[in-house]
Amino acid sequence: MKNINIDNSSSPQHLPAAHTTTGNQQTSSFAQPDDRFSVTLCGVGVDAETRCTHWAGPSDVIALRFGCCEVFSPCYSCHLAVVAHAQTAQVSRSVSSTSATATTTATSSKSRCHTESAVSGHQSIREQTVQSQIDPWPAERFDDPAVLCGVCRTTLSARAYLNTAAMCPACGAAFNPGCRQHHGLYFGTDTECVGDNVHKSNTDCR
């Protein structure tokens, strides 16, 4: 049986939030994240289960943690819209759940955000543009919490999420299966350690 590395604990430090609210949907910024969640989460038009303005289907119920600042967002479009990367150093230190060694390893090659990423030839211009502005969750930290289930609020390690059958292993909520085709924008490129569930990027999905 695979170790799914589920983490139900709350982040020890969480910044106060203020939002633009429309009904159940809230827009929160980097400096003032969404206070409905135990992790630092920002997005555009986010509902209580992490659906957003860009992805609002029944199974769009995850938020992903970005390597450039360790903030969770429902999708990269949300992240680009509301996360002020120039200010990420302070929050990155406050929400990091890893040891100093892991943090040093992760940041040694990612010294600043909006760094031009090395991209492979098969990627689209759109993907290259996005990857020049955000960093995916690093492969060397695949056992750290990196995905939030918006239904039960369980945090999953990147490895656990990538090895799921498009559903939360904690509560059984369905995840959008199309998201796995776009993992290149969210997770590091060392995919051998997560089996066959990582597919080539596709701009038609999240």
pLDDT tens-digit map of 110-124: 333 332 233 334 455
Give residue 46's identity as a one-letter amino acid code.
V
Confidence (pTM): 0.66
More confident residue, 176 or 96: 176
Looking at residue 104, its pLDDT comes to 38
- Locate 159 and state its tokens: 């490895």
CB 150 within 8 A of CB 61: yes
Report the C-alpha gap between 48 and 66 in whole angstroms. 20
Q: How far, in Å, CA of 36 to CA of 47, rounded? A: 10
Handedness of CA 34, 39, 41, 45 (dihedral sign): negative
- Evaluate if residue 69 carries a pLDDT over 70: yes
pLDDT in tens, 122-134: 455 656 666 667 8
The CA distance from 74 to 173, in Å, is: 16
- Please state, in angstroms and rounded to a whole number, the distance separating the CA atoms of residues 27 and 43: 6
Q: What is the mean pLDDT of the chain?
A: 72
Domain ranges of the chain: 14-194
pLDDT score at 30: 79
Distance CA 7, CA 51 (A): 21
pLDDT one-digit tens code per residue, 134-145: 889 999 999 999
